[in-house]
Every structure is written in structure tokens, then in C-alpha cells.
Amino acid sequence: MDNQHKKLEKKRLKLLEQRSKQRHQQHLMRMGIVLIVSLVLISLGWYLVSNTTLDWQGTTAIVSGIIGLIKSIFETYHS
């Protein structure tokens, strides 16, 4: 009985370690996505200011609207 208990405990610890690694990988993927989206939005803002008649306020409004749209899509997806 004691040997079986040790095997179960070892299996439980292995599963916990796998879950921890999986969560860490998911966190890194989310952070990478956030970084890429942030760089895209910064580039879009810079492009709009440089190549259109928009000023920083107009560009900020457009980029903020896009951020709100992305946020609402993710909130709908996760609920």
C-alpha cells in the first residue's frame, strides 16, 4: 500500500509540474502577442501622424478605438 501511495504522489507531482510549465508557456505566448500588437499599434500611430493630416489627438482616438475593439473581442471570446 505504501509503495502505491508513493507512485501516486510521484504521478501527482509530475502532473503539477507539467501544468506549471504549460501555464508558463501560455503566459509567454500572451506576452509575445501583447508585444507584437503594441508594436503594430505604435507603428500605425506613427504612420497616421507622418502620412496623413491627422494630429496626435486624431491618431490617439483612432488607435484607442482599435484597442477598444480588440479588448471587446477578447472579452467576448473569454466569457
The residue assigned the cell 501527482 is: 12
Is there a contact between 28 and 2 (Cβ–Cβ < 8 Å)? no
Beta-carbon contacts of 37 under 8 Å, excluding residues fewer than 6 positions away, are 70
Note the pTM of the prediction, 2 decimals.
0.66
Q: In the chain, count of helices (H) and strands (E)?
A: 2, 0
Q: What is the pLDDT of residue 69?
A: 87
Locate the domains of the chain by residue range. Answer: 2-78
Give per-residue pLDDT as tens, 56-75: 888 888 899 899 888 888 88
For residue 1, pLDDT beyond 80? no
